Amino acid sequence: MFGGSCGNESRIKLQCGEYITQISGTYGNYKYQGNQCVIATMKIHTNLCPSGYGPYGQGCGVESVKCFSSPLPAGGPIVGFLGRHNNYLESIGIFVKKDCSCS
């Protein structure tokens, strides 16, 4: 759940050959949650949609807004996400599939 106890579920259906290349968005201090630092908005970028799907989240009530983006993975595509939350999403990370050229 992203955005507290309300909001809408969103699904992205990746096309054949499409893969996630980066995540980006904004974060800041949520004034209604004791100025807790939260992810305010997020986009999911793919090789076929470089401008990104989203943004997800509205960012309402977030102050001192800053932008973030994941590094572009050099070793392979993004294959998963992890995150930490309390009432709202506080942090997000990525899993990258490394190409292995083992002999």
Q: What pLDDT, on the 0 to 100 scale, is given for residue 26? A: 95
Per-residue confidence band for 3, with pLDDT thresholds at 50, 70 and 90: low
Distance CA 38, CA 24 (A): 14
Task: Please say whether the beta carbons of 95 and 81 come within 8 A.
Answer: yes
Side chain identity at 40, as an amino acid letter?
Answer: A
Among 11-15, 17-21, 31-35, whose mean pLDDT is lowest?
31-35
Per-residue pLDDT at 86: 80
**pLDDT score of 77 more than 80:** yes
Domain 21-96 homologous superfamily, CATH? Jacalin-like lectin domain (2.100.10.30)
User: Which residue type is seen at 1?
Assistant: M
Task: Give the per-residue pLDDT at 54.
Answer: 92
Indicate whether this model's pTM tops 0.85: no
pLDDT tens, position by position, 21-58: 999 999 999 998 888 899 999 999 999 999 999 998 88
**Which residues lie across from 64 on neighbouring strands?**
none
| Residue 26 tokens, joined | 């904004």
